[in-house]
Structure 1
């Protein structure tokens, strides 16, 4: 891995030591610089879960990705910088409180100073800072208060403002374990990613999301939605808000690039 090129993508210099302050800064910068997006599915591009392919996409082409891609590559960067970082599978909670399938999500656990920290740059709206997996009280974060609870079989339930987000496995997994579920997520008509088109990242005051032909900005809790009437306007939004120069626009489900087929902007997506 070209560590310096990856750090340049995040807008940071090479850190002096693999400590908690460094981990926190890298997570903040990754979330701000690398969008959560599922454009590859709607551009007809393959999603390849190996570090070389992910580096070429996220660093070389300055794109984003979804959980397996973003956390898969970020974990590799953290290891290259001296962190003890492992990938862990999670099951995402549905709105009705039921759990999704195993390996529905991939997150990172970093072992640092005899404590384990949850790091996640691939879940849409989620913690901007590392979360202690041993803390018994709520952990305040710019995006809300997070609580980590013990779950069956030694797993962890992660809650945001009292609402369950996902159940995290204790045991680590290699990136290759996520390949079958990533294939399902990118091909099944039942997958939320094949049924929607989104590109999103947090900002200093909230979040910005490009959902099909609608640009949605949330600033200090106030949501503003602006329709984008032309392909040129959509291209400009990808470039200005996400730093992405696309050669062609993704086609959302059942329509042209000007068809809005995406979910609401501030929903946490895997």
Structure 2
């Protein structure tokens, strides 16, 4: 699998971009040239230079520094959201797929959740809880964990009647150990592929909600918020749209391409089940 992945140039490029962005985000205080929050109205809309590699915005703040600091709320919070979502989805999916007594209850709850479009449900929850990145994370987890529960449940059904699982039941191995030692490793590759592809969606969702003013608020640097500020200057300085916009496009595309490459590398049999 690793050899096949290493031969995929698109996967290598995508992984390199994601790795670079993560490193820049971790070392943002050392990479950023200027204070991302410090305004300088006498220097607004400055052109590209060594001091301001991507120029300055309408308040004279360094666009490059804000872009680097924006990695944390945009990318890292998406990782946190995905981790919690997958954790809950896998647990409930394993339980629903393995224990028939509770299967119907969990699946009916998932059906109710999945009957609403994700974006609409997230906006509704944020509207109830209030504006803020914490509420966006909560809303995204609520909106997405049911889908991961359903997918995990379908994966478990493929393996729960395999000989090694049935043999483990026969010799009296506890159910929790069967779930941990047999079923979870069997479905892990499928979950990794789903999570990689879906991370791009979460990044896009967080940025979109911040762009709409429902997420991170100014002056905190975040890519969606930077787009929100830049759109007000579109007629004056349209170039302000490009740094944050292209960053979102490149990172989201990288996760999608990497997910496709991982799916091919794992040689998943039923590719159609990854379609939402």
Q: State whether TM-score is above 0.5.
A: no
Higher relative contact order (CA closer than 8 Å, sequence separation 6+): 2
Structure number having the greater strand percentage = 1
More helix as a share of residues:
2
The structure with more radius of gyration: 2
Query: Shorter-chain TM-score category?
Result: under 0.3
